Amino acid sequence: MRRLIRLLLPNLVLNPIRRYRNKNRLRKEYEEDYIQFSTYSFVFGKEKTKRHYAAELIFFYHKIEKGLAMPEPKVGFGKKNVEYLVKILKSYIKKYGWDQVSATSLSALEEYYVFNKENGNKLKRLNKEIVKLKKTMPNHVELGIGGTKTVFKADIEQTLVDFKSFVNSRYSIRDFAPGHVSDKVIKEAIEIAQKTPSVCNRHSWKVYSYSKEQDKLEILKFQNGNKGFGHLADKILIVTMDLRDFRGSIERNQAYIDGGMYSMSLIYALHSLGIGTCPLNLSIVNKTERKLKEVTGIPDSEVFMMMIAVGHIPEKLKVAWSPRREIDEVLTMY
C-alpha cells in the first residue's frame, strides 16, 4: 500500500509529509531523553543514591582543587563552597562511611586549611571539623590522594612521544586475526583511559566487556554497522555514561562530551597495547536502547556512547582510506 501511495503521489506532496513525520519522531525522542535525564540526574531526580551524593562531593572538592591549583590562589577563596563541602561530607560519611571519594574530599579540605594557615588565615573552626572527621577514619582508608600535587615540565617532556605518527597508524579494523585478547589487556587499557578529562573530574563512564559468542552476537544485532566482520571480534565493549553524575539543565549534553572523549582515549589506549579496534556507533532510538538494556542488564540511568569491536591485528589487512578534510575547512583563526 505504501509503495502504491509513493508511486501515485508526487514528491511535492510526499516531502512535506515526510518532514512532518520525521520532526514528530524527533520530538518524541527528545521527550524521552528529557524524561530520562530529569529522572536520573542529580538536580532533578527524586530518588537519590550513593552515586548521586558521591558526584556532589566530587563536584565541590574539585572546586577547592582548582582554586589551589591557580597561579596565585586567593587566601580564603571559596568559603561558602568549603562550608557546604564539610556539611555534605559529614552527611555522606554518616550514611555511607569512608571510601575513596570521602577521603579525597577530606584531603582537599586539609590542604585548603594548610594553605590558608600558611598565609595568615587560621580557620580554627575548619581545623576542628577536620580533626573530628579524621578520628572517625578507619585504618585502611588513606588520606593524601586529593588536593593538588607538584609536577615538573622536565618530567612531562621525558614522556613525550611522536603522537602524530601514533595517531596516523591507527585504523578501524574490520578484519581481526584469530586469538584471545586477555582481560588483563582490557583492564590495562581502561586504566590508561581513566586519565581522560571530565567535567569537574567526575569520570562518569562505564565499560562493559563481552567475550562469549552468544552474548556478542546478541548485542551486535542492535548495531547496524558490523555486518560481515562483527563476528570476528574477540570482544565487544559497550561504553556508557551515568546520568546520576550530572547537574541541572546546563549539563544535559555533558554525558556525550565526556563519553566521546573517554571512548577515544580507550581506543587509543588499546592501540598503544597493539590491539585492533573498530568503533561502532550507537545512534539508536530510545525504543532500541531500551531493548538493548534489557538484553545487557545495563541500568536505565546510563546512556550509550558506542560499542567497540576489539581483536588482534592480522599481519596484513585492508582498511578504509578515508581521507580527512583539509585543515582550512576545519580551522578558523582570529
Phi then psi for residue 147, to 5 deg, are: 85, -130
Question: 152-176, pLDDT tens digit by residue?
Answer: 999 999 999 999 999 999 999 999 9
Distance, in Å, from the CA atom of 271 to the CA atom of 268, rounded to the nearest integer, reads: 5
Q: Which residues pair with 235 in a beta bridge?
A: 310
Q: With a cut of 60, say whether residue 115 has pLDDT above it.
A: yes
Distance, in Å, from the CA atom of 211 to the CA atom of 255, rounded to the nearest integer, reads: 26
In the prediction, which pLDDT does 45 show? Answer: 76
In the prediction, which pLDDT does 1 show? Answer: 55
Percent helix, strand and coil across the chain, each to the nearest 5:
55, 10, 35
Choose among 68, 86, 88: nearest CA to 77. Answer: 68
In the prediction, which pLDDT does 146 show? Answer: 84
Q: With a cut of 70, say whether residue 6 has pLDDT above it.
A: no
Contacts by 107-111, CB closer than 8 A, 24 or more apart:
107/143, 107/144, 107/145, 107/146, 107/147, 108/61, 108/62, 108/64, 108/65, 108/68, 108/146, 108/147, 109/61, 109/64, 109/82, 109/85, 110/143, 110/147, 111/64, 111/68, 111/146, 111/147, 111/148
Q: With a cut of 90, say whether residue 279 has pLDDT above it.
A: yes
Percent share of the chain, pLDDT over 90: 85
Please name the residues in contact with 36: beta carbons below 8 A apart, sequence gap of 6 or more.
243, 286, 300, 303
Question: 203-212, pLDDT tens digit by residue?
Answer: 999 999 999 9
* 146 contacts 105 by C-beta, under 8 angstroms: yes
Calculate mean pLDDT across residues 304-333. 95
Choose among 292, 190, 276, 288: nearest CA to 234. Answer: 276
**Torsion sign across C-alpha atoms 49, 52, 58, 64:** negative
* 180 contacts 218 by C-beta, under 8 angstroms: no
pLDDT band at 33 (very low <50, low <70, confident <90, very high): very high
Q: With a cut of 70, say whether residue 4 has pLDDT above it.
A: no
In the prediction, which pLDDT does 126 show? Answer: 97
Which parts of 1-99 fold into alpha helices (H)? 2-8, 11-40, 50-68, 79-96
User: And the C-alpha cell for 224?
Assistant: 547496524
In the prediction, which pLDDT does 11 show? Answer: 66
Please name the amino acid found at residue 79.
K
Number of alpha carbons in the 13 Å side-chain half-sphere of residue 86: 19
Higher pLDDT, 147 or 316: 316
Place of cell 622536565: 154
Choose among 188, 180, 198: nearest CA to 62. Answer: 198
Q: With a cut of 60, say whether residue 243 has pLDDT above it.
A: yes
In the prediction, which pLDDT does 143 show? Answer: 79
* 174 contacts 278 by C-beta, under 8 angstroms: yes
User: How confident is the prediction for the chain on average, in pLDDT?
Assistant: 93
* 263 contacts 306 by C-beta, under 8 angstroms: yes
